[in-house]
Chain A
Amino acid sequence: MKLTLKIWRQGGKYKGEFVTYELPNVNAHMSFLEMLDVLNEDLVSRREEPVAFEHDCREGICGTCSLVIDGRPHGPWKGTTTCQVHMRHYKDGDTIVIEPYRAKAFPVLKDLVVDRSALDRIIQAGGYVSVNTGQAQDANAIPVSQEDASKAFDSAACIGCGACVAACPNASGMLFTSAKVSHLAMLPQGHAERRKRVLAMVAQMDTEGFGQCSNVKACEAECPKEISVDNIARMNREYAAAVFTSETAM
C-alpha cells in the first residue's frame, strides 16, 4: 500500500518542522516500527539523515517506544504500544502524522526522541524496597493474599513509557507515579517505606515540571498497559495519610 507520512524532524538541519515522506510500497504485515525502518533505509541510501525514534524489545514490554500517532500516544488501538501497531490497520492512501511526546518535562532530543529521565528520577526518589543482603529469603516467607498480589500486579504492569504524560492535557505525571506508589504500597515488602516513599516520589514529581491531574482520564484511555486512574485516587489517599500522620519531616 501507499502511505504519506508527516514526521516531526528536529535537530541537525531541521529547526523543528513536519517533513512529508511518501512510502510507495508498505507491506501490510509490517509493524509500525518496521515501516519506519524501511523509510530510514531509503533515507540512508539517499544519503539523508534517518528519522530518530526509540525502540528496544519490539514486543510491547519494555516501554522504550513512544510516538504520538495521529494525535494519540502509541497509536489509535487500545492497550497497544507503538511496536505492536501493525500496518494492516491502515489502508492504501492513508496519511499518518507522527509527533514526539509533548511535555515540558520531556524535552525533545532529536526528531521523535524525547528525554524521559524525569520518570527515572521519580523512581529513584522512592520506587524501591530496601532488602537485607545475604541469603535469599524463602519465597513464601511473607504471606501475600491473592487479591493483593493481583491488584499490585495490575499497577506493576506499568512499563514507564510516559504515554500517560503525553496523553494528558496537563502533561501530568500522576498515572505513572501513582502506579509505582500503588504497586509497592499494596505489598508487605513495600510497607516499611510506604509513607516515606509516597512523600518522596510526589515531591520529585512536583519538581520535574509535570502538570497537575484534573481527572480527565485520557491517560487511562491511552495507557498501553491499561493502568487505571484508581491508582491516582490511591496515591492521593496515601499522600494525605502520609502528610497527616507521618512523624518524620516532609
Chain B
Amino acid sequence: MYFLCACSSILVTNEKLQTHSDLHMSWFTKFLSSSIGQKWIMSLTGIFLMLFLVVHLIGNFQLLKDDGGDAFNAYAYFMTHFPLIKVVSYGLYFFILLHAYKGIALWLSNRKARGPQRYAVQYSRPSERQSRNMAWLGIIIFIFLLIHLYQFWLQMKMGALELVDVTAYDFQVYNLYAPVKEAYSQLGYVIFYVVCMLIVGLHLWHGFWSSFQTLGVSHRRYNGLIKTIGYIYSVGISLGFAIIPVYFYLFIKQ
C-alpha cells in the first residue's frame, strides 16, 4: 500500500499538488510531488539512463571487431539472458517511461506557469539553447527509441531472427548482427542514426550537469570538473554511437 502510494505520487504534477497537499499523504509522497522532489525524479532517472548509455556503448563496440558478429551476438545473448541484467532491464524500461512522462508533464506545467500571455520580444542566450529545448530533444529521442526497439530488440524478442553458432557458447544464439549490418548498409538510415545521436548529445550536454545541480551537488571546487566531465561524456557518447554505423557503411563489405 505504501509502495503504491509512493508510486502514484511520482505521477502527480504540480497543479494537482495544490489540491491535495495534505495530512494523509506520507512525507515521502509529499517529497516526490513537491517541486524539488519532481526535479529529483528527473535527475535520478536521468543519471540511471546515463549509466545505461555507457554500458550500451561498450556493448556496441563489439560491432567494431572484424569477426562477422561473433562477439556481438554472444554479448546480445548475455544481455538478454543473464538474470541480474534482466531485472535491471525491467527497471530500465520503467525509468525511461518515467523520465519521459515526468519530463513532458513538467514541461506542460512549466509552460502554464508562464501564464496566458507570452512575451512579445523573446530573448535567449546561445548558452541556453539546449536547456530551453530539453523537452523537444527528449521527444525526438523517444521517437528514435521506439524505432530503435522495433528494429532490433523486438525482432529478437519475437524470434524473427535466425540462429547462429558463436564461439562463446556451445549452443546457437540469435543473429542480431544480421539486421544491424543490414540497417547500417543503407545511407538514409546511417544519416538518420547520426542525426539522432547528435540530438542525444545535445540532451546530455545540459542533462549531465543539470542532474547534479538538482541533487544539490554543487561546490565551487568541483563544479568545473562536473561540467567538463559532462561535456566530455556527451561528446563521447554521441560520437561513440555515431561512429559505428559510419564505419560499417564505409568499410564493412556486404
Contact = CB atoms under 8 A, between A and B. Distances in A.
Interface of A: 6, 8, 16, 18, 68, 70-72, 97, 99, 102-108, 169-172, 174, 202-203, 205-207, 209-218, 221, 229-230, 232-240, 243, 249-250
A36 B122 CA distance: 22
Nearest to B212: A233
B18, B112, B115, B206 interface centre (most CB from chain A within 10 Å): B115
Given A212-B109, A214-B106, 14 more contacts: A68-B121, A71-B123, A99-B119, A170-B114, A172-B113, A211-B113, A212-B14, A214-B110, A218-B124, A232-B213, A233-B216, A233-B217, A234-B218, A240-B31
B132 interface: yes
Given A206-B14, A250-B30, A214 B119 contact: no
A71 B36 contact: no
A107 B215 CA distance: 31
A149 B21 CA distance: 36
A203 B121 contact: no
Contact of B214 (A202, A211, A215): A215
A233 B114 contact: no
Nearest to B134: A214
Given A170-B114, A218-B124, A212 B21 contact: no
A235 B111 CA distance: 23
Q: Is the interface of A mostly helix, strand, loop or mixed?
A: mixed
Contacts of B117: 16, 102, 108
Contact of A170 (B110, B118, B209, B213): B110
B31 A169 contact: no
Interface of B: 14, 17-18, 21, 27, 30-31, 34-40, 106, 109-115, 117-125, 127-128, 131-132, 134, 206, 209-210, 213-218, 220
Contact of B123 (A70, A233, A236): A70
B122 A71 contact: yes
Contact of A202 (B35, B121, B220): B35
Contacts of B215: 236-237, 240
B237 to A, nearest CB: 19
Contact of B114 (A6, A97, A107, A169): A169
Contact of B21 (A6, A170, A174, A207): A207
A212 B109 CA distance: 8
A75 to B, nearest CB: 11
B123 A215 contact: no
B40 A205 contact: no
A174, A233, A235 interface centre (most CB from chain B within 10 Å): A233
Given A102-B119, A240-B216, A206 B17 contact: yes
Which 3 A-B pairs rank lowest in CB-CB distance, beginning with the nearest? A237-B216, A211-B113, A233-B218
A72 B123 contact: yes
Nearest to A104: B115
Contacts of B36: 202, 235-236, 239-240
